[in-house]
Amino acid sequence: MRLSVLDQTPVSEGSTAAQALRNSVDLAQLAERLGYHRYWVAEHHGGELVAGPSPEVLIGPLAAATERMRIGSGGVMLPHYSPLKVAENFGVLAGLFPGRIDLGIGRAAGTDPITTQALQRDRSQAPPDDFPEQLAELLGYYERSFPAGHPLARLADSLPGGPEVPEPWLLGSSEQSATWAGELGLPYAFADFINPRGAPYSVVYRENFAAGKRLAAPRMAVAVRAIVADTETEAERLSTSWRMAFDLLRRGRPVAVPPPEKAARYLDLHGEEQEGFGGKPRKLTGTAAQVRAEIEEVAAAYDAEEVIVVTITHDHAARRRSYRLLAAEFGLQPAPSAADPSVPASAVPTSS
């Protein structure tokens, strides 16, 4: 089973969004050294919690700061964009970093309704609900699969980065996304940390899978939220930060990731809202051995060959430590890499 990283570029209370972006570069370099398979960055807009609205911009610096690990989007929220522009952006990345770029594609807005409207070029009406058509067009550019005489076919021949192309993935947290991924024969990544009741949808994906269309067999990854520490007590303490942050996000009040002491007081006073977001989040918190057992249980439920781990803590050093402990528990093989000069020493934490 492969382990990978999903980085939502969290902004910690008392820090800055700029530091959060530098932390992403630092964490990607560490993940490669530890032996993680791929490193994806998310797209979210208009909130204080995360600093990653543009995976297509962040992927380039991450790929330049690493050497072998796959780098990609988890994901690009396609309804906001022109499929051609997405195809061009990721064509450039694939050309610069051949064989390393993933294009994870999502349908969700990644933000609130007002910000969604602000992202649109035409704000006089709601954008059309035409995701399947957008996805077909995007794939058509890379695969040069437009019908003969199609007016967009010539654009496929002029994409930057050719002949290199990214590997497309469909992301989702619903039965509909599972159906689409299967019918299109795409690799599929399910966000269990959003919807912890999604295991049956992995069956839907496989039952609908069009073998040979793009893959010979289904390829399934599942994304989970996890925090690992040296003791279960310490992991529980660290987890209060993201629990408070996501509780307030559910209530429509996004904040930067608070320190554990503040978060513990909040949770004692207010508890946690459990409605929405697929119900109560799955709890993968504890020592490396405890979390490994839980990860293996989730992977078995989805019959997934890969688990993508998202970890949010207030302290970046604790996040680094969590991924380090998990890699050691799974016996990942470190990938030696040359020292990277792109991140100033002052921006990189020295603690492990």
pLDDT of the chain, 352 residues: tens digit per residue: 899 999 999 999 999 999 999 999 999 999 999 999 999 999 998 888 999 999 999 999 999 999 999 999 999 999 999 999 999 999 999 999 999 999 999 998 777 788 878 888 888 888 888 999 999 999 999 999 999 899 999 999 899 999 999 999 999 999 999 999 999 999 999 999 999 999 999 999 999 999 998 999 999 999 999 999 999 999 999 999 999 999 998 888 999 999 999 999 999 999 876 544 555 678 899 999 999 999 999 999 999 999 999 999 999 999 999 999 999 999 999 765 544 444 443 343 333 4
For the stretch 254-267, what's the b/e string if a residue is b when 16 or more beta carbons lie within 10 angstroms of its beta carbon?
bbbbbbbeebbebe
Compute the distance between CA of residue 267 and CA of residue 271 in angstroms, rounded to an integer.
Answer: 5
Compute the distance between CA of residue 136 and CA of residue 284 in angstroms, rounded to an integer.
Answer: 36
Structural domain boundaries in the chain: 2-347
- Determine which helix (DSSP H) or strand (DSSP E) holds 330, and give its type and residue range: helix 316-330
**What would the two tokens of residue 36 be?**
């993680």
Compute the distance between CA of residue 244 and CA of residue 49 in angstroms, rounded to an integer.
Answer: 11
The pLDDT value recorded for residue 274 is 59
Fold of the 2-347 domain:
TIM Barrel (3.20.20)
Compute the distance between CA of residue 90 and CA of residue 41 in angstroms, rounded to an integer.
Answer: 14
> What pTM was estimated for this model as a whole?
0.91
- Max CA distance (Å), the chain: 64
The pLDDT value recorded for residue 344 is 42
Give the residue from 164, 316, 320 showing the smallest Cα distance to 228.
320
As a whole number of Å, the end-to-end CA separation of the chain is 25
The pLDDT value recorded for residue 278 is 54
The pLDDT value recorded for residue 212 is 93
The pLDDT value recorded for residue 115 is 80
Those residues whose C-beta lies under 8 Å from the C-beta of residue 46, and which sit 6 or more positions away, are 53, 111, 112, 114, 115, 118
**What would the two tokens of residue 28 be?**
């990607």
Q: What's the burial of 167, exposed, middle or buried (CB within 10 Å: 0-12/13-18/19+)?
A: buried
Give the residue from 272, 269, 285 showing the smallest Cα distance to 326.
285
The pLDDT value recorded for residue 349 is 39
For the stretch 200-225, what's the b/e string if a residue is b when 16 or more beta carbons lie within 10 angstroms of its beta carbon?
ebbebbbebbeeeeeeeebbbbbbbb
Give the residue from 180, 7, 159 showing the smallest Cα distance to 83.
159
Beta strand segments in 185-287, E: 188-191, 220-228, 284-286
CA torsion sign for 99, 104, 105, 110 is: negative
